[in-house]
């Protein structure tokens, strides 16, 4: 059991952190012994714990042995072994006088180290964990650190420090049992065909990019000759497309159904034609309006739903207006004949109040947290999380967007460069779990973009990896069930045991309950120091884990796992 002593205004942040690091915890109770205690307050009381983590200068400055050398109120990048960790809300460094092994550094300075306090192992860390979590979930990471899963690394570091002390640990992982991680394929539908665009900025821009732009990209070795020829042929076919004699090459639905054969995906559609929206930044905000009428595509949407896909709202003004958000949701719901529960804002527009506005508009989840100009982890995590000002709404963050990878004004990557970056993000998903969410726009498979081959290759790679593919709604629903599962402590004749409790429908795919213990006779990846057992749990079964685990600690002598009290 982890005990937490945090600042008064950090309670909501602490609660959300432990929905992501799903392990037994509570705010410290007086006189109670804990395996681990985390403190971020100015006052550091005497605690009965095996491991004490003092986060931030306020906590660590209470002991005169640990002298603070420097305080930085801005951001910094720490070195953690072979990895880096950005911190955004201030950092203190310490005088290195042999207090114990150093675990965090910045340049030549010490930002985290081990010490001893009576019989307790103490970790002194120069940043406030929960202020970092608040920043990540509220403000989001700047572009320069977008590819760092910062919040996931905070969780990993805390887990590693606990396990290194041979303290038993129970955790519900962020990937379902039997899967490495989850994948959510999504599509933002902005056009539905070039027929809707005759001599407007969209059509003229296409002609320019498909001809002169293709020639430019060919000479800079970003476009093979066969693809340049394909773009030129598409321009030549435009009159025939407009007359209906040739299939519209921007039509997205058939192509994506074929490319994603048997895989579920989520399509976000704009509810109203010709509406660019209010409060749109930039001088070209008028280009945000779409030229299609969603109601004219009800048969295609029914086909997508029949194939197992989900239809969501690509919001226009829902990000700042409850009335608009409600109208947009009602419009899409009426077209598909079913509730539309999810939304992603067109152009990823949002502000600090968006989560509250969307929640009041009746949405169950949002999937706007991401970048237009790069790829990576807006909130520092690939897990579904609850924005700190929301009560029920969940956020599905986006890691990979096609335009961010390939547009000249953005990352402007070659195919090999994009593959390398995506492999890095996939590697993080394998390591940390969570959800790898992609956006591939409706016209991105077609001329003049021709990013379809890359997309099919990406899907093929993911298919081979043993991942769970789900719609945005299904994956958010799974994380919602994970949030409903919680640990309780039970006093019985054998002592105190920890149990899992859950009230709701069966969880499929099941949760993965991981149990770390030094007494487990298992070696993981040839590392005898990391030993655990994974137990699938669907919320209904009652596996008893006390015999194989033998988990015993100061506050949990017998952590059997059960679904009821």
Share the mean pLDDT of the chain. Answer: 91
| Model pLDDT for residues 100-112, shown as the tens digit of each residue | 788 999 988 889 9
Q: Identify the band that residue 373 occupies on the pLDDT scale cut at 50, 70 and 90.
A: very high
Mean pLDDT, residues 454-468 taken together:
97
Q: How many CB atoms lie within 10 A of CB 420?
A: 11
Mean pLDDT, residues 154-174 taken together:
96
Structure tokens at 469: 């593919």
Mean pLDDT, residues 506-524 taken together:
81
| Model pLDDT for residues 429-454, shown as the tens digit of each residue | 999 999 999 999 999 999 999 999 99
Q: Identify the band that residue 557 occupies on the pLDDT scale cut at 50, 70 and 90.
A: very low
Of the candidates 272, 352, 357, 363, the one whose C-alpha atom is nearest the C-alpha of residue 312 is 363
Q: Could you give the CA distance from residue 19 to residue 486 in angstroms, rounded to a whole number?
A: 9
Residue that the structure tokens 């993080």 belong to: 428
Q: Could you give the CA distance from residue 361 to residue 357 in angstroms, rounded to a whole number?
A: 6
* Residue 194 vs residues 47, 249, 294, 414, 519: alpha-carbon distances, Å: 67, 8, 15, 26, 64
* CA angle (255, 454, 468) in 5-degree steps: 75
Higher model confidence: residue 64 or residue 411?
411
| Model pLDDT for residues 15-59, shown as the tens digit of each residue | 999 999 999 999 999 889 999 999 999 888 888 899 999 998 766
Q: Could you give the CA distance from residue 145 to residue 371 in angstroms, rounded to a whole number?
A: 12
Q: Identify the band that residue 545 occupies on the pLDDT scale cut at 50, 70 and 90.
A: very low
Residue that the structure tokens 């930085």 belong to: 72
Confidence (pLDDT) at 384: 98
Confidence (pLDDT) at 555: 32
pTM: predicted TM-score of the whole model, two decimal places: 0.93
Confidence (pLDDT) at 556: 32
| Model pLDDT for residues 304-349, shown as the tens digit of each residue | 999 999 999 999 999 999 999 999 999 999 999 999 999 999 999 9
Q: Is residue 546's pLDDT more than 80?
A: no
Q: Identify the band that residue 517 occupies on the pLDDT scale cut at 50, 70 and 90.
A: confident
Q: Is residue 493's pLDDT more than 90?
A: no
Q: Is residue 565's pLDDT more than 50?
A: no
189: helix, strand or coil: strand
Assigned fold of 2-172 = Rossmann fold (3.40.50)
- In the chain, domain spans: 2-172, 186-193+250-478, 485-549
Confidence (pLDDT) at 491: 77
Can you give the C-alpha Rg of the chain in angstroms? 26
* Residue 184 vs residues 287, 529, 534: alpha-carbon distances, Å: 28, 34, 24
Q: Could you give the CA distance from residue 71 to residue 262 in angstroms, rounded to a whole number?
A: 54
Confidence (pLDDT) at 59: 60
| Model pLDDT for residues 212-237, shown as the tens digit of each residue | 999 999 999 999 999 999 999 999 99
Q: Is residue 70's pLDDT more than 90?
A: no
Q: Could you give the CA distance from residue 224 to residue 230 in angstroms, rounded to a whole number?
A: 10
Confidence (pLDDT) at 542: 67
Q: Could you give the CA distance from residue 388 to residue 499 in angstroms, rounded to a whole number?
A: 27
Q: Is residue 553's pLDDT more than 70?
A: no
Q: Is 460 exposed, middle or buried (0-12, 13-18, 19+ CB in 10 A)?
A: exposed
Confidence (pLDDT) at 218: 95
Structure tokens at 422: 């995506």
What is the enclosing helix (H) or strand (E) of 114?
strand 109-117
Higher model confidence: residue 120 or residue 561?
120
Superfamily designation of domain 186-193+250-478? Glycoside hydrolase/deacetylase (3.20.20.370)
Q: Is residue 61's pLDDT more than 70?
A: no
Higher model confidence: residue 478 or residue 31?
478
Q: Is residue 411's pLDDT more than 70?
A: yes
Higher model confidence: residue 73 or residue 297?
297
Q: Is residue 97's pLDDT more than 60?
A: no
Least confident of 80-94, 334-348, 352-366, 433-447: 80-94
């Amino acid at each position: 059991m982890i005990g937490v002593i945090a600042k008064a205004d950090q309670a909501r942040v602490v609660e959300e952190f432990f929905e992501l690091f799903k392990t037994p915890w509570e705010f410290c109770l007086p006189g109670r012994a804990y395996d681990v205690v985390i403190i971020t307050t100015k006052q550091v009381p005497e605690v009965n714990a095996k491991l004490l983590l003092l986060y931030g200068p306020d906590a660590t400055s209470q002991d005169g042995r640990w002298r603070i050398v420097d305080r930085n109120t801005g951001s910094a990048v720490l070195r953690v072994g072979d990895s880096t960790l950005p911190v955004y809300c201030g950092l203190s460094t310490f005088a290195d006088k042999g207090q114990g092994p150093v675990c965090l550094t910045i340049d030549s300075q010490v930002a985290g180290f081990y010490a001893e306090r009576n019989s307790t192992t103490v970790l002194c860390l120069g940043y406030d964990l929960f202020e970092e979590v608040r920043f990540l979930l509220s403000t989001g990471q700047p572009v320069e650190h977008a590819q760092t899963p910062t919040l996931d690394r905070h969780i990993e570091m805390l887990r590693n420090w606990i396990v290194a002390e041979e303290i038993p640990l129970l955790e519900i992982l962020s990937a379902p049992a039997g899967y490495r991680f989850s994948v959510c394929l999504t599509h933002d539908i902005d056009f539905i065909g070039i027929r809707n665009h005759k001599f407007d900025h969209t059509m003229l821009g296409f002609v320019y990019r498909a001809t002169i732009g293709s020639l430019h990209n060919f000479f800079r070795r970003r476009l093979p000759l066969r693809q340049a020829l394909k773009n030129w042929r598409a321009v030549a076919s435009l009159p025939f497309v407009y007359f209906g004699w040739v299939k519209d090459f921007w039509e997205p639905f058939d192509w994506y159904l074929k490319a994603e054969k048997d895989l579920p995906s989520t399509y976000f559609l704009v509810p109203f034609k010709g509406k660019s929206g209010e409060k749109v930044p930039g001088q070209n905000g008028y280009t945000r309006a779409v030229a299609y009428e969603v109601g004219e595509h009800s048969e295609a949407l029914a086909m997508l739903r029949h194939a197992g896909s989900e239809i969501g709202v690509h919001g226009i003004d829902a990000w700042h207006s409850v009335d608009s958000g409600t109208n947009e949701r009602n419009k899409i719901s009426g077209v598909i004949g079913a509730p539309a529960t999810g939304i992603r804002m067109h152009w990823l527009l949002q502000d600090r109040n968006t989560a509250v506005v969307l929640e009041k508009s009746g949405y169950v989840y949002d999937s706007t947290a991401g970048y237009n100009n790069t790829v990576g982890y807006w909130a520092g995590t690939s897990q579904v999380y609850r924005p700190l000002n929301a009560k029920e709404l969940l956020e599905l963050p986006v890691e990979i967007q096609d335009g961010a990878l390939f547009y000249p004004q953005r990352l402007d990557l070659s195919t090999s460069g994009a593959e390398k970056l995506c492999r890095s993000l996939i590697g993080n998903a394998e390591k940390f779990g969570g959800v790898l969410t992609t956006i591939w726009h409706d016209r991105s498979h077609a001329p003049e973009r021709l990013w379809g081959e890359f997309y099919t290759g990406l899907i093929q790679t993911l298919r081979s990896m043993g991942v769970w593919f789900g719609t945005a709604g299904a994956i958010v629903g799974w994380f919602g069930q994970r949030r409903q599962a919680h640990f309780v402590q039970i006093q019985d004749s054998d002592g105190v045991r920890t149990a899992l409790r859950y009230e709701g429908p069966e969880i499929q795919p099941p949760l993965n309950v991981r149990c770390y213990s030094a007494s487990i006779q298992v070696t993981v990846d040839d590392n005898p120091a990391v030993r655990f057992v994974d137990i699938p749990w669907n919320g209904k079964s009652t596996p008893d884990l006390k015999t194989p685990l033998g988990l015993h600690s100061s506050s949990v002598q017998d952590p059997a796992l059960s679904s009821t009290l």
